[in-house]
Structure 1
């Protein structure tokens, strides 16, 4: 029996996604305009050297992106982190990897509903926040139900728009830098290193914060069963999405720092890049940037909801979640419609009941936990189980990815760690009951 193939008795997805679609999907999840979410706080944290923090974070995430790509080549199925850990290390450990990552995927559409509704309400105050939440939820859910091909086409358009806004923002910033009162040079080392304020601890803290912008490249691998050529395209897409996204983040942080050198003088840390956009291009640029932020919530919401629904599908297919519900695929659209609707309900309720700051903190717990499991899976599967003694490829690179993620993980806030481990404890109790004390394996693993 091949673990990477499904029986004809199982529901199937349509293979329609090209390498370009997969890369855009990953970038859409991260969103090209992601620095807007954290710039004010991260710029202060790094003492004006956020570009360096983003560079470090990009390099760190590339190790994990490599590991995701290697595991997707071995197991081109929809479960991503859950599947890789389950089939490489242990089926029960795989459940916990999926359980941790599930929290991350659930929180992504939830937080983008919140952010999108907040900015939309600020732009059109006459429409209440809760109405905007429902509008965003309905649009995203409807597109995902129609199918991943429709979602991919929508993302292509929205990512193109955000990319254009980023380009416009950078051009206006360059114009403001070289044409300003002080006529500064566009070439400067200060966004990467300023000897008067540099502190290693500040840069590390900033890099940990910058990793938030990269959460999402891993979602590409949840679409393995809908990719045209998953074995070749998955690792390329994960690496390219991480690299392209990182370069976009670095450039935005670089020009923003030169336009507004005093990072302690923003009117509000929440809207720091809007202050910079207004200084560089006036109210028109600030408005366009605001619209781009709202658009980013649609791209991240589409990808987050799609990824979570497919992770639940894979766990249902392996019968670690109730199979009948979680593996139902709409006969016409070929999408896990019940999972999508469940995700919509969870996200709407959470968006109306929880604070943004709390949700944002929890995302790092699930994301970093999943990254550690996948890096470890590469080592166990390739280096030890398959005896492929390529030290750098199958041991050193994933080991570095694991250690980097572990270091960032242990530096999460006490509240985040406490709530995250409570979530894992709930999963432990659920698994203990459904596996009869961890004696019962998922049916797909029986006899292996």
Structure 2
């Protein structure tokens, strides 16, 4: 920890350092959710040509490298760190802004893909209701609840994670029971989820891996708890790495059993809710309803929380002068929430859920996340060079490995995702240039230029 970070003003009220190592790991697992690979299982299966578990493990390698870099940067900048802070401090403020802009896309896309998945899952219960009706229903519900200040508490999130843990146990038991009743199978049967020579394609595997990254999104949230962690210099980096590892192992078990239990070559009734149909095959209508209902509730909670998170990030960017303050920096006087931003994100969810597929939304989210991960890896590499050059060769090598693997995965995102994501990035650059030239926009209150950093930072 730096001397500046260690020095605390005696008169300043600080957060209580009460979180232990395992508290941080549990927080990370709750953020990611133990059922993380289930919603995206179908699209990974489709793109990786049946090699879901291999794609999950390939993504794990990149995430482990990156988690080490996050840990090092959290140790260097221990006060509520984030990717755009690390990049801005270690590389350049403009690159930090671009990282934050790409992360803003992630925040906006998260409730969008939750809206899509919730609508598909609801159709499993009520297939006669048109998809568009459910899209409008869930987007309006997320927006209405957030406008009224309804937030999911940490206790509710922990309870949901525990419930999803029970669901995973039920799925694993049902899968093992199903496989037992299949009778004797050759050894090659159990190797097929890892490698099937009849369908394997390196390009397909990399495409699947670019989507499988979604399984790990959220581990970096642990770095925001450095002000509340005991011995953050040790506990935060270790918790970030262990959370990634636990997520990868648990996700691999879930998808491995799912692949074994679904006949190869058989199409799923709905690719977006494929794992729900696997649960119905191994556990009948009851397990189908349990898994579908549980994942539906989990995505409702995630959609609400991520919509409010997106609104708050836009609020911070508006108050910082990065985007027009009059609209994005406004806070509703009664409910004390960024109402304009909540409504905007709600509208984007409706339009996006009708225009985008779940797969495109997922790949766009990963576009921004992978760019942020590459930025953190490069920042960690530069930090190592600045601190000790070749004396820091091992962490520098790990950071370089994280950058190369994330960049390679990013290159294998779909063409449409890269086009839309790049357009978003260029829009951010253009907006940054305009704001740099206009210290005060017409109609904006004084101090709204890009140099104003008095606003909150998400």
In the TM superposition, what is the alpha-carbon distance from 1:181 to its structure 2 partner?
Answer: 5.5
Q: After the TM superposition, which residues 396-407 of structure 1 pair with which residues of structure 2 at under 5 Å, given as runs? A: 396-407=397-408
Structure-2 residue corresponding to 1:161: 163
* Residues 241/285 of structure 1: CA separation in 2 closer, same or farther (3 Å cut): same
- Whether 1:348 aligns to 2:346 is yes
Aligned mates of 2:324, 2:4 — CA distance in 1: 23
In the TM superposition, what is the alpha-carbon distance from 1:75 to its structure 2 partner?
Answer: 1.4
Partner SS for 1:166: helix
TM-score (norm 1): 0.82
* Residues 377/328 of structure 1: CA separation in 2 closer, same or farther (3 Å cut): farther
Alignment RMSD, CA only?
A: 3.9
In the TM superposition, what is the alpha-carbon distance from 1:262 to its structure 2 partner?
Answer: 1.1
- Asked whether the 8 Å contact 1:111–1:359 carries over to 2, the reply is yes
In the TM superposition, what is the alpha-carbon distance from 1:126 to its structure 2 partner?
Answer: 7.3
Structure-2 residue corresponding to 1:67: 69
User: When the two structures are aligned, how many residues end up with a matched partner?
Assistant: 435
Q: After the TM superposition, which residues 29-428 of structure 1 pair with which residues of structure 2 at under 5 Å, given as runs? A: 29-78=31-80, 80-120=82-122, 122-123=124-125, 128-129=133-134, 130-139=136-145, 151-180=153-182, 188-225=190-227, 230-301=232-303, 304-305=306-307, 308=310, 311=313, 320=322, 338-339=337-338, 341=339, 343-354=341-352, 355-357=355-357, 358-380=360-382, 382-387=383-388, 389-428=390-429
Partner SS for 1:377: helix
Q: Deviations over 1:134-163 (max 9, x none)?
A: 334455676775xxxx63222111111111
Aligned mates of 1:220, 1:302 — CA distance in 2: 20
Aligned mates of 1:377, 1:138 — CA distance in 2: 40
- Asked whether the 8 Å contact 1:151–1:302 carries over to 2, the reply is no
Decide which moves more: 276-285 or 411-420: 411-420
- Asked whether the 8 Å contact 1:141–1:302 carries over to 2, the reply is no
* Residues 178/228 of structure 1: CA separation in 2 closer, same or farther (3 Å cut): same
Contiguous gaps of at least 5 residues in structure 2: 440-448
* Residues 230/200 of structure 1: CA separation in 2 closer, same or farther (3 Å cut): same
TM-score (norm 2): 0.81
Aligned mates of 2:212, 2:227 — CA distance in 1: 30
In the TM superposition, what is the alpha-carbon distance from 1:217 to its structure 2 partner?
Answer: 1.9
